[in-house]
Amino acid sequence: MSTQLMLPAFYPDGPEAADTYFEDLRSTNENHRNAGRIDEIYGSFPFYGHASGRRNPSLPAIDRDGARAYVARLRDELGIAFRYVFNSSCLGAWEYSGAERENVMGTLADVIEEIGITRLVLCNTNLVEVAARRWPSVEISVSTINDVTTVPGAARFAELGASRVVVSKTRLRDFVFLGDLYAQTDLEVEVMLNQGCPIVQPFCRDHYNFLSHIGRSETDEPDIYFSRCLVEKFDDPAKWLKTSIVRPEDLGAYTALGPERTWGKIVGRERARRAPATAAVYLSGSFDGNLLDLVGNLDPASDEIVHHVDNQALEGFLDFWIQGRCDWNCADCDWCDGFARNAVTVADADRLATQRARHLGYLQHLGEI
């Protein structure tokens, strides 16, 4: 069963690095051609100055000419499309005011008409409708930030012009909902595979808004929401199993629901260079190692990975959701905690203590706790 993957954009520094990166993409597709392929690269261009769900300073750097050449090379050499991400959860009412509205629409026009991109990720509902009307041939994906949790909600976005919806992480393991989504709409369905965010997290919307506003600045203010999530997992490692991570072995359960309409998304725009290797693991359908090594929003180089999650010890874990047995009554259920006792261990107690103190310090410094 073929799997369509999309990877975060990495912009190589220099022709030699570019050749190596493009060869990694090509060889990954060639080596796993019977299982699926990398069909899209997604990202944004910081030179436009708009937020896109990430801080601009943390994203790979590229200039306008480089962006045009990069998109063309992906398309012409590898047959891979580029999907531009413009998914800020809050535009500060820019989309309503005259000059700023023109700035927003001008960016989209430049992305489409000058850079040559024909696929978008949008969050603002008005932009979905306006962009679909102005550029009817452009394929529009509705961001996970929209938190689409119902089939009628997804269908409404289709009416507005979207052709794909990113599954809300709160519905990632709801196979009844996913089945209905395929059956009752013609939308493509995108599943984030390696995001370490909690499936249920009350601070999620605040985090998206934080990134929307701080994303346009050059500040290096710590991401308190990321720190809060890490501290929670440091204190309760079982919460790693309550995140939106999909095991490579379980990807087929999603693809089977809609073989021609399912997209798997490798996340981690800040650490995109390792994405081809992560894609190769998912296309292989098997992984014998620490599941956290695949998580796109963790950085092994910064010692943030302090637990070991034995991926092979999680065989059968997803069955609880495939069989419809989860009602999210966690207080009376031991499924996740039971698997965690066998699968999750502390890799380095000293590093755990150091990382916990560091991230806790960010929260205390900002008066968060």
CATH of the domain at 226: 3.20.20.70
Question: Bigger pLDDT: 132 or 300?
Answer: 132
Question: Bigger pLDDT: 125 or 304?
Answer: 125
Question: With 80 as the cut, is the pLDDT of residue 339 above it?
Answer: yes
Residue 93 CB contacts under 8 Å (≥ 6 apart), including other chains: none
Q: What's the mean pLDDT in 61-65?
A: 88
Q: What's the mean pLDDT in 341-361?
A: 91
Quickly state the pLDDT bin for 96 (edges 50, 70, 90).
low
Question: With 60 as the cut, is the pLDDT of residue 52 above it?
Answer: no
Question: With 60 as the cut, is the pLDDT of residue 77 above it?
Answer: yes
Number of domains making up the chain: 1
What sections of the chain are H helices per DSSP? 15-31, 64-73, 98-109, 125-134, 151-160, 175-184, 204-214, 224-235, 251-255, 275-284, 319-322, 335-343, 349-365
Sign of CA dihedral 208, 300, 239, 255: positive
Q: How far apart are CA 134 and CA 109, in angstroms?
A: 9
Question: With 60 as the cut, is the pLDDT of residue 40 above it?
Answer: yes
Question: With 70 as the cut, is the pLDDT of residue 66 above it?
Answer: yes
Quickly state the pLDDT bin for 65 (edges 50, 70, 90).
very high
Mean residue pLDDT of the chain comes to 88
Q: Which of 21-35, 38-52, 84-98, 233-247 has the lowest mean pLDDT?
A: 84-98
- Provide the residue range defining the domain that includes 299: 3-365
Residue 211 pLDDT: 74
What percent of the chain clears pLDDT 70, i.e. is strictly above it?
88
Quickly state the pLDDT bin for 185 (edges 50, 70, 90).
very high
Quickly state the pLDDT bin for 59 (edges 50, 70, 90).
low
pTM: 0.91
What percent of the chain clears pLDDT 90, i.e. is strictly above it?
61
Question: With 90 as the cut, is the pLDDT of residue 92 above it?
Answer: no
CA dist 228 → 271, 307, 347 (Å): 20, 17, 20
